[in-house]
Each structure stands twice: as structure tokens, then as C-alpha cells.
Amino acid sequence: MLTKAQIDSEKLNPGSPFFKNALAPTRDETKLLSLLDNLGKLPSGFNGELLVPLLAHANPKIRTLAVKNVGKLKNEKFLTELSKFAANESNTFARREAISAIGRMRSQKAIPILTYYLTDTDPKVILQSVRALLYFKENPQVQTALNSLREHPNELIREHLASEIDQKKSGRQTGKKDPHHPASPDALKNVIIHADVQESLKMIPDESIHLTFTSPPYYNARDYTIYQSYEAYLDFLTAVFKETHRITKEGRFFVLNTSPVIVPRISRAHSSKRYAIPYDIHPRLTDTGWEFIDDIVWRKPDYAAKNRNGGFFQHRKPLGYKANSVTESVMVYRKKTDRLIDWNIRQYDDETVDASRVMGDYEKTNLWHINPATDKVHPAVFPPELAARVVQFYSFKGDLIFDPFGGSGTVGYVALTHERYFLLCEKEIEYVERANQVLNVNLFAHTKPRVLSLIELKSELTERN
């Protein structure tokens, strides 16, 4: 088998018969694949005609690599050949590579071909054509063709096109640093806002926080407001998480811990009702502008489950089985952006990134075995270990961590112990007092935790602005 060094050496000798023999369609397929995969950058004098017969090879992997290497030459003379190949090719990967090769030519002659493939049945072929045509986005013909895709049924095509158009209109550079990204308002650091969450959110400036981790109040739980209906409950959460989206920095994360709940039956003549909160709130979140990233399952020990098996255990009759629930959902979302995660990381200096690395062993799957926690004041707290994982995985040291339903302050406590700041909202005075007690015994806080009313918060934001 040829080494890459040997191949590179032969590329420097364009008059050599080496490639004529090495790229012969009748050659052993394994050797052909190895050579095509290791050709690397091709010199301007490379004879691309040697690759053309391979476009008709029986092996689709060879056809794909051959068309990829033809594309490296960026030579218009292969435009017709590549166009015919894309039209007749059955392998979807090879077709996409052909469109990519045509796009690399940056040729005005390619515009009609690329425009034609905007109507292809393969969304990835369409996306490849869009990327190629964006090079000519000042061309009126291209603008018309691209605008025709704004209502395309495929969401990936719509989103990609919208992000490119929005970026062009704003003049924003996707790789440019934002010096304000790592920062957050001093007035919000280590604060418990004692007020209704919706009123509190109105006071918080745009793009102030780096991470939200929360577990909302259960539907019609005894210690919270009784909502008029389940739909009203979902509307309330949607409104809160929409505002959370507004105050979240670009590309940062929102992590939601919730689970289906049971509303007890109102009489023996009625059955209890089970509501699938994680599944019902999910489409509302994505419609709001949160991009779904991950679903993590929090697995609690069997002893932590409320027993729903008593009746079935006795009678064992079909249809009567009810599983004991030992899991909760930890849904991970990101504020939608065309920027990659790497962009968010690059907003921080090397010292902060290094200091924030997750060291030692960590959970590599989406099944997290964590024991539940209890609190003498709050009936529904999540364990510090759960919050600690979320804080470490989805934020940097010095970030501002938000919990719109602050409860007894678990998120705040974990934020402080991991050298982050917290911002909590909580309207129930007994929970505020409990959180304040928990947070003020923490020795890691550089900024002393404070409880602020809405009036006090407004005053602080005004003074420090």
C-alpha cells in the first residue's frame, strides 16, 4: 500500500505515468480507495482527466472520493461532467459531493446548475446548493432563487437561509469576539429577588445571564398557586421561559428539570390525571427560540418512588399496572444562534477556560444516578449534585447562573461553591428566608448575597448603569 509521503512525492512530478496506472478503474478497489483518500491538496498541473473514468465506477465510495478530488481542482472544464454526474448519480453522498465540487469553482456558469438543485428532494443537496450560491448572493437571479426557499417545508433549510440573510443584514461576523459576553451586571450578582417571577423578569436587561437551571413548580401543587387549568399552567411557564430567552446571552444554555405529574382524583367515581409536562412544554420552548440539545434522565433509587403498584401487586389483573416513577427529565436547550459552541468558548480568556475545566471522572451517558434531596422548609428541592453537574457542564467560572423559581436556594448555593454568581427569583417569603440562610453561610462568595424587592432592584440597576 502506498504511503502518503510517496503519493505527495509523485504529485510533484506531473509528467510521471504513476497516476495513470494508480488511478486506473480496473485497479484493486482497496488500493484505489486508499489512494483517493490520501491525495490531499492537488497541484495546479494535476491531470484531472485521470479521475473522470472513476465517476462511473461500480463502487459508490470510489465515485464519491473521485468527485471530491475533481472538486479540489476548481476547474471549469469539469463543470459539464460534474453536472451530468449529479443528474444521474443514485448515491446521495456522491451527489452532495458533486454539488459541493461545482460550488467550489466559484463560476458564474455554475449558477443555473446550482439553482436547479434548489428543488432537489434531498435537503442536504439543497443545503449544499444554498452554500454554493451564497457566494453570488449579490446576483439578483440568485437572490430570487434563495428567497423562494424561505417557506421551504424543511426546517433546516429555512433556518440556514434565515441565519445567512440575518447575518448579511446586520453585518455581523460570526467569528468576531463580543467583549461583553463573559460579563454580567453587577447589580444582579448574588441576588434573590423577592417578587413574582414575571414581574422580576421585566426588570432584567437583555442578555444578562449565562445559564438557567430550574425546576418549575408542579401543576396545582399545594404550596403554589392553583392554576385555572393545565393549559394556563403551560402558558405561565411559556411566558417565563420566553423572557428567560430574552435575558440569556447568545448561544448559552437553559436546562429544565421536570417530570410528568399526577393530579389526584376528585372522587372515587373519577380517575387521577397524569400530565406529561416535559413533552407538552418542549414544543413551546422550541417555538420560543430555544434549540433542543440533549435529554438527560435523572434516575433516583427505587425507595424514592411513590408506590403506585399496591393494587396491582395484590390482584395482578391486566390493565391495572402502574409503574413506580424513578426518573425525571433534565432537558437541555441552547439559545438559538448560527454561531457554534466554539465561539462561546472563545469569548473567555485562556485562564478562565482552564480554570473551568471539568476535572476527574464524570458521567458520560445521559443516565444520571443521583439520590434525591430533602429540605425542612421546601417540599420539592433537587439535589446539589444534580445542580453541580449542570453548572459545571454548561457554564464558566464567573458566569451568572439564573433560577426563576429559586425555592430554597440550591442553584445559588451550587453556583457559589463553583465560583459562579447566582440570580434567583422567589415570591414565597418562607423560601426566601430559607435561601438567604443557606446562601449566607457560604464562604466562597466574593459578593455578599442580598435579598432585593423589585423597587430595590430597579434602584440598583439604575445606580450601576
User: Does pLDDT of 402 surpass 90?
Assistant: yes
**265 Cβ partners below 8 Å, 6+ apart?**
271, 272, 273
User: How far is residue 190 from each of residues 171, 387, 447, measured CA to CA in Å?
Assistant: 36, 16, 7
Q: What is the pTM of this model?
A: 0.79
Segment 374-402 mean pLDDT: 85
Segment 361-386 mean pLDDT: 81
**Does 15 or 11 have the greater pLDDT score?**
11
Q: How confident is the model at residue 223 (pLDDT cuts 50, 70, 90)?
A: very low
Over the range 20-57, which residues count as b (16 or more CB within 10 Å of their CB) and which as e?
A: eebbeeeeeeeebebbbebbeebeeebebebbbebbeb
**Does 220 or 250 have the greater pLDDT score?**
250
Specify which of 100-109, 256-265, 369-378 reaches the highest per-range mean pLDDT. 100-109
pLDDT at position 304: 78
pLDDT at position 99: 97
User: Does pLDDT of 224 surpass 60?
Assistant: no
Regarding the domain with residue range 4-170, which homologous superfamily does it belong to in the CATH classification? Leucine-rich Repeat Variant (1.25.10.10)
* The length of the chain, given as a count of residues: 465
Calculate the average pLDDT of the chain. 89
Share of the chain above pLDDT 90, in %: 68
Tell me the three cell numbers of residue 146.
434563495
Residue-wise pLDDT tens digits, 38-72: 999 998 888 999 999 999 999 999 999 999 999 99
Strand partners, 298: 328, 368
First to last CA, the chain: 67
> Span 186-463: which CATH code?
3.40.50.150
pLDDT at position 177: 84
Residue-wise pLDDT tens digits, 257-291: 999 887 766 666 566 778 899 999 999 999 999 99
CA pair distance 127, 131, nearest whole angstrom: 6
Q: How confident is the model at residue 379 (pLDDT cuts 50, 70, 90)?
A: low
Determine the 3-state secondary structure of 14 from DSSP: coil
User: Does pLDDT of 216 surpass 60?
Assistant: yes
Q: How confident is the model at residue 13 (pLDDT cuts 50, 70, 90)?
A: confident
pLDDT at position 290: 98
User: Does pLDDT of 75 surpass 70?
Assistant: yes
Segment 191-200 mean pLDDT: 96
User: Does pLDDT of 244 surpass 50?
Assistant: yes
User: Does pLDDT of 229 surpass 70?
Assistant: yes
Task: Find, among 451, 400, 412, 402, the residue nearest to 429 by Cα.
Answer: 451
Residue-wise pLDDT tens digits, 318-351: 988 888 889 999 999 999 998 999 999 999 999 9
Where are the domains positioned within the chain? Answer: 4-170, 186-463
Q: How confident is the model at residue 243 (pLDDT cuts 50, 70, 90)?
A: very high
Task: Find, among 454, 455, 387, the residue nearest to 422 by Cα.
Answer: 387
Residue-wise pLDDT tens digits, 302-314: 887 788 777 787 8
Segment 377-405 mean pLDDT: 89
Tell me the three cell numbers of residue 296.
438527560
Q: How many helices (H) and strands (E) does the chain have?
A: 20, 11
- Of 10-24, 96-110, 371-385, which gets the smallest average pLDDT? 371-385
Segment 188-212 mean pLDDT: 97
Q: What angle is formed at CA 197 by the lines to CA 184 and CA 402, rounded to 5 degrees? A: 35
CA pair distance 423, 189, nearest whole angstrom: 6
Asked if residue 70 lies in contact with residue 39, where contact means CB atoms within 8 angstroms, the answer is no
Share of the chain above pLDDT 70, in %: 91
